[in-house]
Chains A and B, each alone.
Chain A
Amino acid sequence: MRWVRVRRAVVALVAVAGLYGLAAQIGHGRLPDRIWLGTHYVENVQLLPTWRSLAEEGTFLLESDILVSSVAVSTRRVAIGLILGSIAGILLGLLTGLATRLESLADPWVTFFRFTPALALLPLYVVWFGYGESSKVLLIATNVAVITLLGAHQGVRGVPRVYLDAAASLGAGPWLRFRRVVLPVAFPSIFASIRVAAGLAWVTIVVAELIDARMPSLGYLLTLAGAYPRVPTMLLALATVGALVLLFDLLALLLHSWGTRWMERAG
């Protein structure tokens, strides 16, 4: 079952890549290479770079170590932000899920932050935490924390009464009930939220790396490529971010299925 899905995903990726290559080849020499950028004309723009020019650009980015170091730096930021944000979010979510009074206290704040765009917090975080790593990482962590807080909260609230009653009548105290009943039942919801947050963290990083924008970083690579503009670089940077999102999603998915071995999986 799992392999069928992997095969289908690969087929879909190859098909889209193939179609793109075909379109680029047809457009090669036919599409305009001079475009108006609002204030001036830019020459030698490849609107749809061919596979060949993408390969050349890729080789350059790899050989110059730009891509690898950018990936390393951005991944590190996302990973730290994801871990910090998840820990904070899950702890708060468990707390508000267990204590009804805290819920009503936390509720408006969760809604408030849930729909606050990362970009809106950016100036504030720069003022508070400076231009360094911390403002970037904390921006990601904030976004991640809000999502995982909701996941953990709903997970705890969704624990069926029957299990808690059964555990209590078997003599389990609050701590054992929390560890062996609440946590396992809330687990799927928590990890589903981590999966969403992992994707969101990558959305945030591109924005976060506008702070004190400098190489190496994937966000700044994209910004730079847009300034020239160099479409092959943009596409490769986008594809790299996309691949990393897929990788993080896969990791979250593995974690999720490990934690839900006991559940029946349909299909």
Chain B
Amino acid sequence: MTDSAPAPVLEAVGVSYSYPGPTPTQALDQLSLEVKDNEFLALLGPVGCGKTTLLRIFAGFLRPTKGAVRCGGATIAGPGWQRGYVLQEQAIFPWMRVRENVEFGLLAKGVEPSARRAVSDELLGLIGLSSFEAAFPRELSAGMSKMVEVARVLATDPSILLLDEPFGALDAQTRAHMQDALARLWERRRKTVLFVTHDAEEALYLADRIVVLSQRPGRIKAQFSVDLPRPRSFETRFSSGFLALKRQVWEATGTEPVRRDHQA
């Protein structure tokens, strides 16, 4: 590297993906994307545009039909803890207590129980669920469960986080809470984050950069860099910079009514 720009941590080069079957569906078409070190990148797009497909490719569960995906320069061959992946679906293990859930990745790494405990103590405190350590997930709300999933991924301290609409199933109020919690978490422990969402405001509040995807097959439609000051707060959501960007992003996603007026 000759210039000062940091090397990409995650990289997709000309990635296409088709789901096999009697009627193959092309989810992604010639998509190239770079996520830089410690960057919080939001991938914004409508439902069914291939965001989740791209994330599953980065997570190592899908192989691109064409193109390449790399992590730190090496081709991604399969799932691994270095890329902490929070699924879109509820994936907390209901048969394990909250603490066991958080410690699972450490168990897989063969970490000693006392060391596991120290990590889970810290993370549970960080997400404010210390008093629920011995609870089974059914005793948690959907928002709390999702936070436990995030903590579970953070426990092994991966350098990269892949978050797939983690707060998609929550009500607006809880979602705002969770976004705050995630923003605080990220400000405290910087990581490279690829965050998939269909919510422009969520993307703006959390991300350094937003990549807007088109309808299926997903292609990059627009990019925005979000130069809003950190730490972001309640006030951020109503700042003029935020609102101006929100307008631009909404226009780029093609949801603005103006466009229909033009066509009429």
Contact = CB atoms under 8 A, between A and B. Distances in A.
Contact of A181 (B60, B61, B93): B93
A180 B90 CA distance: 17
A185 B89 CA distance: 17
A176 B152 CA distance: 16
Contact of A170 (B90, B108, B138): B108
How many chain A residues sit at the interface, stated as a range, is 20 to 34
A216 to B, nearest CB: 44
A162 B86 CA distance: 10
Contact of A171 (B91, B136, B156): B156
Interface in A158-188: 162-163, 165-173, 176, 180-181, 184-185, 187
B80 A163 contact: no
A170 B149 CA distance: 11
Contact of A167 (B78, B104, B138): B104
Contacts of A168: 61, 78-79
Contacts, number: 74
Contacts of B85: 165-166, 169
Nearest to B80: A171
B94 interface: yes
B96 interface: yes
Contacts of A167: 93, 104, 108
Given A170-B84, A176-B108, 17 more contacts: A166-B93, A168-B78, A169-B59, A169-B61, A169-B79, A169-B83, A170-B152, A170-B153, A171-B80, A171-B105, A172-B107, A176-B107, A180-B104, A261-B136, A262-B95, A263-B138, A264-B138
Interface of A: 162-163, 165-173, 176, 180-181, 184-185, 187, 261-264
30 contacts: A162-B87, A162-B89, A162-B90, A162-B91, A163-B91, A165-B59, A165-B61, A166-B93, A166-B149, A167-B93, A167-B108, A168-B79, A169-B59, A169-B79, A169-B81, A169-B83, A169-B84, A170-B108, A170-B152, A170-B153, A171-B80, A173-B108, A176-B108, A180-B104, A184-B93, A187-B95, A261-B136, A262-B95, A262-B137, A263-B94
